[in-house]
Each structure stands twice: as structure tokens, then as C-alpha cells.
Amino acid sequence: HCVIEEGVVIGAHVKIGDRCRIGAHAVIRSGVEIGDDCDIGPHTYITHALIGSKVRLHPGVCIGRPGFGFAIEPTGYTSVPQLGRVVIESDVEIGANSTIDRGAGPDTVIGQGTRIDNLVQIGHNVKIGKYCIIVAQAGIAGSCQLGDYVMVGGQAGIAGHVSIGTGAKIAGQAGIMRDVPPKMEYMGTPAVPLRQYMKQVALVAKMITKKGNEDNG
């Protein structure tokens, strides 16, 4: 049996598996499918989504809204139709007030076992592999691809159409503008390999100390 709390709105042709809990005032739009043993938090909004089993959505999560895509016309901006879905595989956890956009054509995919913190933005067509970690306030722009076991630190930003290799680690507040090879650690903005970043920091500190000594000399 499922537990449906007060104020929940469920659209036509929605499928909800066994032993699920749907929190108060959640909105599940037409055609959404949810697997077994899911915990859908209060005030969540889900549309154009296929969700596996043992998925947990914390309060305020928004799944499946149109991505940020538009064309520039002489009269202004015209929104580009978004036709894909969000596919969330089993055993995924998504933190409070995070947003995952539906795909523009291909689906947006969140791989099995991935953990997403609060206040994370994931754009349209993004493909995230299995068992990734995405920390709070990170932003992943449209059409990025993350391999399995990728770790993205808090407030990191990943530009559109970038590929992050399996096992890579992105430090907090890093700005990723180019592809990252597998198992590499990147830091800084624009981000560079960790060892290179540390050398840059040490060099800048040395230059500042030298300049200070000259000024005082």
C-alpha cells in the first residue's frame, strides 16, 4: 500500500509503485511513472518523468520543467519546445529545492545510486552516470555528460556540452569550461588540474610576498 498525504494532486495515467509515500501538496502531472518504495517529499513537482524504485525526493524538488532554451528572433526571444523527459534510475536521492529540467529532445538522465544535494540545478539533456555526488548549489548546464562516480563540489559550475570522465573530482566553486579526463581532480576558475592549481596559488603568493618586500625595502 501507498501513503498519500493531504493536498496531493495526481494527474491522469500516473503510475505509482508499491509502498510509496507521497508528501503533502506534492503535484504529479499526467503520465509520470514512479517505481516501488519511493519517498516523494512535500511540495515536490514532477512532470514528464520516469522514476525508478527506492528514489527519495526531498521537499520542494522540481522535476521535468522545460529547460532554459530559446532562439533570438527580430521581435525578441522565442522558447524552443522541450520534448524529452527526465529519467531517474533507482536508488537516487535528490535534495530539497533542487531542479532537474526535462530534455529538449533526448532525455535528461540521472544514473542509479546518485546523490544530489540541496539547491542543485541540472539543465536539459544532461546525462549523469551511476553513483555520482553533486553537492549543494552546483549548476550543470545543458547537454553535459558525467561518467560514473563523479564528484562535484559545492557551488561548482559546469558549462554546457562538457564531458566529465568517470571518477573525476570537481572542487567546490570550480568553473569547468572544458572536458575533464577520467579520475582527474580539477579546481579553480577556469578550472585546471589540482596540482597545476596549487602551483599557481604558490606562485601568486610568492609574487605578492616579493612585491611587498620590495615596497617595504
Please identify every residue annotated as catalytic. 124
Residue 116 near residue 98 (C-beta atoms within 8 A): yes
* Rounded Cα gap, residues 124 and 31, in angstroms: 19
Task: Give me the residue label for grid cell 528514489.
Answer: 55
What DSSP letter does each residue of 91-115 carry, written as one string? T-EE-TT-EEEPPSSSPEEE-TT-E
Within 8 A by CB and 6+ apart from 25, the residues are 5, 6, 7, 8, 9, 42, 43
